[in-house]
C-alpha cells in the first residue's frame, strides 16, 4: 500500500451493461445477484484492495486497488463470474484528494475522474474487459491494446472452453480438469488447444508486465 500512496492510486469503476432494459422483477433479482457478486469480489481480493468495492448507484460499483498484480484476475472474474449482465470496467490512475476508508465511498480526485472517463469511453465504444485512463499516453495505449485482445479472445470461446481456461488459471492440471468435467484427458487437451490457452495466458502476463513496468517507471510522488 505504501507504493500506491507514493505513486498514486488506481481507482476502478464498474458498470452493468443495459441494466435499464430489465423489468422491475428482473432488476430486483439481478440486484440481489449483483450485491452478492460484489461481496464475493471483496472476499477474493481482500488483501489486494486499498478500499473495498461498493455499489454506488444501483448498477455501478467502485473500489481502490493497492496491488496492481490482481488486474488480470479481477478482469477475468468480472468477465466470467457475473452471468446476469455483462459488466464494463474503467481503471483510472492518479491522485486522491479525500481520505480513504474501508470502502471506496465518498472518495474523489483525479484517480476517480480518470476511472469515470474510462467507463464513459467503454460505454461509448461498447468495450468490455477494462478501459484504462490516466496512466500516460504510451501506457494507456499498451494497457488498452492488450485488454482489447484479451476480450476478443474471450468472446470467441465456448462456455466449455472458458470453464477449462478458468480451471487452468487456478493451476489445476489437465488430468484433474478432466475428472472435474467428466471428460477424457484427450478431450481436455483438445479444448486447451482450441481455446488458445497459451496465447491467452501470455496476454495476461503481458498485462501484468505492463503494470509492473508502469510502477517502476512512475517517479515517486508523480501524481496526476
Q: pLDDT tens digits, residue range 182-203?
A: 999 999 999 999 999 999 999 9
Higher pLDDT, 26 or 12: 12
Scan for cell 468472446, then name that residue: 155
CA distances from 216 to 72, 145, 183 (A): 19, 20, 44
Q: What pLDDT sits at residue 219?
A: 52
pLDDT of residue 222: 42
- In the chain, the percentage of residues whose pLDDT exceeds 90 is 74
Looking at the DSSP bridge assignments, the partners of residue 14 are 61, 89
The reported pLDDT for the residue numbered 216 is 79
Closest CA to 74 of 129, 19, 119, 140: 129
What pLDDT is recorded for position 22? 78
Residue 223 has pLDDT above 50, yes or no: no
More confident residue, 37 or 24: 37
- pLDDT attached to residue 134: 93
The count of other CB atoms within 10 Å of the CB of residue 171 is 7
Say if residue 6's pLDDT is above 50.
Answer: no
The answer, as to whether pTM is greater than 0.75, is yes
4: confidence class by pLDDT, cuts 50, 70, 90: very low
197-217 and 159-169 helices, crossing angle to 10°: 50
Angle at which helices 71-80 and 197-217 cross, to 10°: 130
Query: Residues 124-176: pLDDT tens digits?
Result: 998 999 999 999 879 999 999 999 999 999 999 999 999 999 999 999 999 99
Output the pLDDT for position 218: 64
Q: How far apart are CA 134 and CA 117, in angstroms?
A: 9
For the chain, domains (ranges, CATH) are 2-135 (3.30.70.1230)
14-18, 76-80, 199-203: the lowest-pLDDT one: 14-18
Q: What is the pLDDT of residue 83?
A: 82
Tell me what the mean pLDDT of segment 7-15 comes to.
Answer: 89
For the chain, what is the mean pLDDT? 89
Amino acid at each position: 500500500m505504501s507504493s500506491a500512496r507514493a505513486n498514486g492510486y488506481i481507482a476502478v469503476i464498474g458498470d452493468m451493461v443495459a441494466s435499464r432494459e430489465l423489468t422491475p422483477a428482473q432488476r430486483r433479482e439481478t440486484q440481489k445477484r449483483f450485491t452478492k457478486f460484489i461481496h464475493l469480489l471483496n472476499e477474493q481480493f481482500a488483501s489486494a484492495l486499498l478500499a473495498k468495492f461498493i455499489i454506488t448507484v444501483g448498477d455501478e460499483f467502485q473500489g481502490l486497488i493497492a496491488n496492481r498484480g490482481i488486474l488480470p484476475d479481477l478482469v477475468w472474474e468480472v468477465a466470467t463470474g457475473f452471468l446476469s449482465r455483462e459488466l464494463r470496467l474503467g481503471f483510472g490512475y492518479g491522485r486522491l484528494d479525500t481520505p480513504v476508508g474501508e470502502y471506496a465511498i465518498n472518495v474523489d480526485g483525479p484517480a476517480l475522474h480518470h476511472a469515470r472517463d474510462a467507463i464513459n469511453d467503454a460505454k461509448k465504444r461498447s468495450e468490455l474487459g477494462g478501459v484504462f485512463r490516466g496512466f500516460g499516453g504510451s501506457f494507456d495505449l499498451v494497457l488498452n491494446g492488450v485488454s482489447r485482445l484479451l476480450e476478443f479472445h474471450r468472446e470467441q470461446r465456448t462456455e466449455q472452453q472458458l470453464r477449462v481456461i478458468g480451471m487452468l488459471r487456478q493451476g489445476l492440471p489437465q488430468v484433474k480438469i478432466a475428472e472435474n468435467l467428466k471428460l477424457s484427458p484427450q478431450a481436455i487437451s483438445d479444448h486447451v488447444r482450441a481455446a488458445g490457452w497459451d496465447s491467452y495466458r501470455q496476454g495476461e502476463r503481458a498485462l501484468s508486465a505492463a503494470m509492473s513496468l508502469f510502477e517502476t517507471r512512475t517517479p515517486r510522488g508523480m501524481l496526476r
